[in-house]
Each structure stands twice: as C-alpha cells, then as structure tokens.
Amino acid sequence: MVAAADPRLKQIAQKLKQLRLGKGYSSYEAFAFDHELPRVGYGRHEQGSNLTLNSLLRLLDIHQISLADFFADMPNVQAAIN
C-alpha cells in the first residue's frame, strides 16, 4: 500500500474511488482496463499516491466532471487552492 504524505491526497483518492464505484465498477482493475489506463498506476491513485495534473485531468475527462465539481465537496483541498 502506498502511504499518502498529505491527507488531501487521500481525499482525492477517495473521490476517485467514489466516482469509479458510481460508474458501476467494483474493481479498479476493470475500470483501468476499460479506459486504457495503466492498472497499477490507477490503483496507486486510488490509494493516495501523488499523481500528476495530467493524470487527474485525464481521469476527470473519463468521468466527465470539471475540476471545480471534483473539488466542490473537499473543503481541505479548496482551502489549499484559495
């Protein structure tokens, strides 16, 4: 398991998992395969590892969600942005 140094990374990871589950995928591996994502890399994102902005934007495009909507219910992350 990858340890998250910053608790905001864990919030992002939990949100990614929530979005995946909302699309009906119980397995992160199946989600990664269906969306042509590296399976191990995507799994690490859901565990809270650091991810690039490009990776995040690609995932948000897959989920058809904006950055603003993605971070809307994460006050700790929003505080860091502002």
pLDDT tens digit sequence for 35-75: 999 999 999 999 999 999 999 999 999 999 999 899 998 87
User: What pTM value is reported for the model?
Assistant: 0.84
First-to-last CA distance in the chain?
Answer: 31
CATH classification of the domain holding 44: 1.10.260.40
Let me know if residue 22 belongs to a domain.
Answer: yes
- Our count of domains for the chain comes to 1
pLDDT in tens, 2-45: 444 788 899 999 999 999 999 999 999 999 999 999 999 999 99
Of the candidates 37, 56, 46, the one whose C-alpha atom is nearest the C-alpha of residue 18 is 46
Give the structural domain span for 43: 7-81
Let me know if residue 33 belongs to a domain.
Answer: yes
Let me know if residue 47 belongs to a domain.
Answer: yes
Let me know if residue 1 belongs to a domain.
Answer: no
